[in-house]
Amino acid sequence: MRFPTLTLLAVWCAVASAGTETRLDPETGVATWQTETGGIQVRLTQIGPNQARAFYQARGFPPEATERYATECVFMTVVRNIGDTPIEHRLADWRYSVVGQPDRVIRSKAEWEALWKRIGVSEAARIAFTWAQFPDAQTFAPGDWNQGMTSYSVPRGGRFDLHFVWQAGGRPFSGSLEQLRCADENA
């Protein structure tokens, strides 16, 4: 289901964020950001470039493709329906913002697929990539959750805000995670 841009803007202006909770794992130094609002829980956890490299090299990605993905700001993204009504999301309607720049759309699986084909990534590796990414669209029954990787064109150590959108009971809602930080090269 596509949410019109004007609706998104109105919803983003009308719904206040429930706040972003940040946790830092003392053993690994990996940071996690989470918020719960309007029956949805959204959590992003840093994935360092070496983790991204190792994950995709183990799935048959050539070095050029592995490095291309590892230069992105990568997160494990978890969405959970904590309400009592089914919720729907479309990743194409989510936006992220870096201070001083226009809002950006999260790169879709189809865009990644086109890049991987162009640089010669094998079909088996492309399938593994697709399955590891957060779903483009999904309906979550109460209690359902899913996870997958999302990536953002933000420099290592850079900060951004994520604005996510979903529908419940036919009504649009939005929330945000604020001051997310990309993992450093050494993470």
User: Environment class of residue 110 by beta-carbon count within 10 Å: exposed (0-12), middle (13-18) or buried (19+)?
Assistant: exposed
Residue 114 lies in a domain: yes
Q: Euclidean distance between the first and final Cα of the chain, in Å?
A: 37
Token output for 35: 């918020």
Residue among 75, 68, 157, 143 nearest 111 (CA)? 68
Residue 117 lies in a domain: yes
Q: Tens of pLDDT along 57-99?
A: 999 999 999 999 999 999 999 999 999 999 999 999 999 999 9
Report the domain count for the chain. 1
Q: Is residue 9's pLDDT more than 50?
A: no
Residue 51 lies in a domain: yes
CB 177 within 8 A of CB 96: no
Residue 29 lies in a domain: no
Domain that holds residue 53: 5-16+39-181
CB 40 within 8 A of CB 15: no
Residue 26 lies in a domain: no
Type and span of the H or E element at 99 = none
Q: Tens of pLDDT along 21-65?
A: 999 999 989 999 999 999 999 999 999 999 999 999 999 999 999
pLDDT of residue 172: 96
Residue 68 lies in a domain: yes
- Give the CATH number for residue 73: 2.60.40.10
Residue 28 lies in a domain: no
pLDDT of residue 18: 57
Residue 100 lies in a domain: yes
- Taking each helix axis from N to C end, the angle separating 123-132 and 49-57, rounded to the nearest 10 degrees, works out to 140
pLDDT of residue 46: 97
Q: What is the mean pLDDT of the chain?
A: 89
Q: How confident is the model at residue 187 (pLDDT cuts 50, 70, 90)?
A: low
The predicted model gives 131-137 an average pLDDT of 96
